[in-house]
């Protein structure tokens, strides 16, 4: 089992370079094919243009839309040049995809044809940039693939050497752990942490995280099991605190959510992690 196809979301934000660096490192380490996806969404510019339609004639409107398209294409060309320079420098097999469409569903669609999708955390100061929060929501809940979310702040040249796995014996947690196996097998240290472990047949039993740690050990992974109980803070905060304290460069957790009135809605712990993350997070639903 390995990573052979990696998709990375690339755009004109400052964070895009960090995503490219991390994705290129993974592609180099796993000998994977790297696809750089840039989506041009004219829905918002077109809407703004229509707002001014009452004040301009048809020719002026056509000229405005053409200028918007040209500016978007020029910005995309710069992103493409950076992508091509990176894969050539690192000797990575790859391809560039430039697609017109709505950002979030387009990324989710293309992610279905990759082993891993690398996307960006929403910048709270600029929540609409890069497709907004819906990119992560749809990539996670609609692609059927694991998603590696890169924080909007900081630089992350590499991940997967010191990994913290959040485990609660759920289907989503099992899915995320299995999807992360290629990375875990190359890690130097892996810790499985059960927070507020439950008892019973669907819970953790007498030794929280021990059974799943044994499963990982059978895959040749150097792993330790741990558990904690918290009441003053949320489970997501505990995972992030432990990731910081242990110096983890990657957090692996299940992603929870559901459909509501034709909208994809993330669960509370998942949403909290995505809002406050300071380390890359690999999630699967």
pTM of the model: 0.89
Whether 39 and 131 have beta carbons less than 8 Å apart is answered as yes
174 and 222, same domain (yes or no) = yes
Whether 266 and 257 have beta carbons less than 8 Å apart is answered as yes
Q: Within a domain: residue 277?
A: yes
Whether 165 and 190 have beta carbons less than 8 Å apart is answered as yes
200 and 124, same domain (yes or no) = no
Q: Within a domain: residue 156?
A: no
Domains in the chain, number: 2
Q: What is the pLDDT of residue 261?
A: 44
169 and 276, same domain (yes or no) = yes
Q: What is the pLDDT of residue 70?
A: 78
Q: What is the pLDDT of residue 262?
A: 47
Distance CA 121, CA 108 (A): 15
Residue where a domain terminates, one of 94, 120, 150: 150
Q: Output the domain CATH number for residue 243.
A: 3.40.50.620
**231 Cβ contact list (under 8 Å, min separation 6):** none
181 and 135, same domain (yes or no) = no
Q: What is the pLDDT of residue 69?
A: 78
**238 Cβ contact list (under 8 Å, min separation 6):** 195, 228, 230
Residue where a domain terminates, one of 150, 171, 203: 150
Full domain range(s) for residue 236? 162-284
66 and 135, same domain (yes or no) = yes
The parts of the chain modelled with pLDDT lower than 50 are: 261-262
78 and 193, same domain (yes or no) = no
Q: What is the pLDDT of residue 167?
A: 93
Q: What is the pLDDT of residue 254?
A: 93
Q: What is the pLDDT of residue 127?
A: 79
């Amino acid at each position: 089992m390995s990573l052979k196809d990696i998709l990375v979301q690339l755009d004109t934000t400052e964070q895009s370079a960090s995503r490219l660096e991390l994705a290129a490192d993974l592609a180099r380490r796993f000998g994977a094919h790297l696809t750089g996806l840039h989506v041009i969404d004219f829905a918002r510019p077109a809407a703004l243009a229509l707002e001014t339609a009452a004040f301009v004639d048809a020719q002026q409107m056509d000229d405005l839309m053409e200028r918007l398209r040209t500016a978007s294409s020029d910005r995309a060309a710069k992103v493409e040049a950076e992508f091509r320079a990176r894969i050539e420098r690192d000797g990575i097999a790859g391809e560039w995809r430039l697609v017109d469409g709505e950002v979030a569903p387009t990324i989710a669609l293309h992610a279905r044809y990759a082993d891993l999708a690398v996307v960006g955390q929403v910048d709270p100061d600029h929540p609409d940039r890069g497709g907004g929060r819906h990119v992560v929501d749809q990539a996670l809940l609609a692609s059927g693939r694991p998603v590696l979310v890169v924080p909007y702040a900081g630089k992350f040249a590499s991940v997967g050497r010191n990994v913290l796995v959040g485990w609660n014996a759920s289907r989503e947690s099992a899915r995320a752990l299995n999807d992360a196996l290629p990375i875990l097998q190359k890690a130097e240290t892996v810790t499985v942490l059960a927070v507020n472990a439950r008892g019973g047949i669907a819970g953790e039993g007498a030794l929280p995280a021990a059974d799943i740690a044994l499963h990982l050990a059978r895959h040749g992974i150097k792993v330790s099991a741990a558990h904690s109980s918290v009441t003053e803070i949320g489970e997501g905060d505990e995972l992030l605190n432990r990731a910081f304290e242990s110096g983890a460069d990657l957090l692996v957790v299940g992603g929870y959510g559901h459909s509501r009135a034709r909208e994809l809605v993330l669960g509370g712990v998942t949403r909290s992690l995505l809002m406050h993350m300071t380390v890359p997070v690999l999630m699967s639903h």
